[in-house]
A and B are shown apart, each in its own frame.
Chain A
Amino acid sequence: MINTYIHTITGFIEKTFVITEFELRKLRHDFTELITRALQPALWLLIFGEVFSRSGMMHTGNIPYLDFIAPGILAQSVLFVAIFYGINVIWERDLGIVQKFLASPTPRAALVLGKGFSAGIRSLSQTIIVYGLSMLLGVNLNWSPLALLNVLIIVILGATLFSTFSLIIACIVKTRERFMGVGQVLTMPLFFASNAIYPTGIMPGWLKTISHLNPLTYVVDALRTFMLAGSTSAFGLSHDYAIIFFTTIVLIVIGARLYPRLAT
């Protein structure tokens, strides 16, 4: 009894990593992706960040504005790439790839989580870019190995969370055209109703409430705490971690339920 239970769990983890491994193998031939991923965070930090930093309009306490938004821009760039991840799934559905995987004995949740993890690992390229830019701009980064490890974990989890959300949208809308529309409608509200480029303290009450329901807020808070030297969490790190974990698990479960819809 316990043996079959353990067998199921190890099988699930193994299959998840098989999916992740092959998603990453596909990257070998697509280096342009890494360059396009670098562009957006560079624009936000170098232009938006510099201008608002000089204006002195944003009150971010004892942290300089550029330091404040560096983790926010990392989270934003992870969100923007992950939220369009579902388009790949629709592409694979229009071919017969999704159908073939679904006709194999692979657990549905392993198919969904494996894809999510691969999106997470792909996001590490943005992490390197944002760290590089931050160094150039003189952001006061925390280089302790433990802090860096936590940043990596949060980035992977955050990308897994939003790419799984994206996969769920793909399972519902099923066509590329509708998916692009929905994706574009969702990204900006998720970004602006968060603490990525301004503290929630200066928001009107209704927006503050929405931002507290937005998982991106907790990703940003955790990243800000670990990335910056001498920064403290607004919500508490265990709170951040708990919300990110819980949301990811809920989305994986929903994604695993909806994924077979793509085969019909």
Chain B
Amino acid sequence: MSNIILEINNLTRRFGVFTAVDALTLSVNASEIFGLLGSNGAGKTTTIKMLTTLLPPSSGEAHVAGFSITTQAVDVRRTIGYVPQAVSVDGSLTGYENLLIFAKLYGLPHREQQSRIREALEFMGLTADGGRLVSEYSGGMVRRLEIAQSTLHRPRVLFLDEPTVGLDPIARDAVWKHLADLRTNYGTTLFFTTHYLEEAESHCDRIAIMHLGKMAALGTCKELEVSLGSAGHTLNDVFVHYAGSALDSGGTFHDVSAARVTAQRHG
């Protein structure tokens, strides 16, 4: 039996003449923490949107826990959790209500809903704040609530798009501690995008670097550092080597403004 939970084959997405993701092929093992790196506009978010069934691929295929993202989208949705880059909990509801709506939408058995929510709040260190309106939360608390919301149904793979963007270092550490616990306790596979190199270095089992829609490098941080040849390279050197030539990119206006709004709300 193979241990592969996420299998991506020649996944491609074009927008008009622009190819955002170009024949991406990649496998991720169960319970792995996998980081997708790249500069803005490299195709990271487009990749996550295809894997979470939000965007149909132009060609190619991917399987999550054996389900096809193109023909078995509903099964994929039941199997995954998704934390978008922008704020995805509702500020006009309490933390508890934000969790309750997802407990109901994912069809958790009625008897288990309350215990799961209590457990999720406790797990994310939010027990005391469940009854407060989310609009009063700090950025780090919002992120932890979003992760609690996306993991209530115990997804096998959790996709996170820039999970720590706009957070201060203390909040960032807290988010990562909780994410690492998810894997330890539930065996959740984490697939996330970031452009914080130190984050990738300290938390990922393996990383892939995307550049202009293509995969430029894949391996453990050590492997990639060694791949540059002579000793003493850092992950930063690796990143510049594989993705350094595209400083002119930077995403669309919508991406940039969405990221800024997110940073502002978290900050």
Interfacial residues, chain A to chain B (CB-CB below 8 A): 11, 14-15, 18, 21-22, 25-26, 29-30, 94-97, 99-106, 260, 263-264
Beyond A29-B133, A106-B105, A263-B49, whether A94 also contacts B86 by CB under 8 A is yes
How distant is A102 from chain B, measured CB to nearest CB, in Å?
6
The reply on B90 being an interface residue by CB < 8 A is yes
8 A-B residue pairings within 8 Å (CB atoms): A15-B105, A21-B101, A22-B97, A26-B93, A99-B54, A103-B52, A105-B107, A106-B105
Q: Are B49 and A104 in contact (CB under 8 A)?
A: no
A103 and B150 CA atoms in complex are apart in Å by 10
Beyond A94-B261, A96-B86, whether A263 also contacts B93 by CB under 8 A is no
* Residues of B32-90 whose CB lies within 8 A of A: 49, 52-55, 74, 77-78, 80, 82-90
Q: Are A97 and B90 in contact (CB under 8 A)?
A: yes
Most B CB within 10 A of own CB, among A100, A101, A260: A100
Nearest neighbor of B159 in chain A, beta-carbon distance: A103
Q: A-facing mask of B140-181, CB < 8 A → 1, else 0?
A: 000000000110000000000000000000000000000000
A29 and B97 CA atoms in complex are apart in Å by 14
Chain A residue contacts of B80, Cβ below 8 A: 103
Number of interface residues of B (CB under 8 A): 32
Beyond A25-B93, A104-B105, A105-B74, whether A97 also contacts B54 by CB under 8 A is no
The reply on B102 being an interface residue by CB < 8 A is yes
Beyond A104-B106, A105-B74, whether A18 also contacts B261 by CB under 8 A is no
Most B CB within 10 A of own CB, among A15, A22, A102, A105: A105
The reply on B104 being an interface residue by CB < 8 A is yes
The 8 Å CB contact of A105, one of B77, B92, B93, B97, is B77
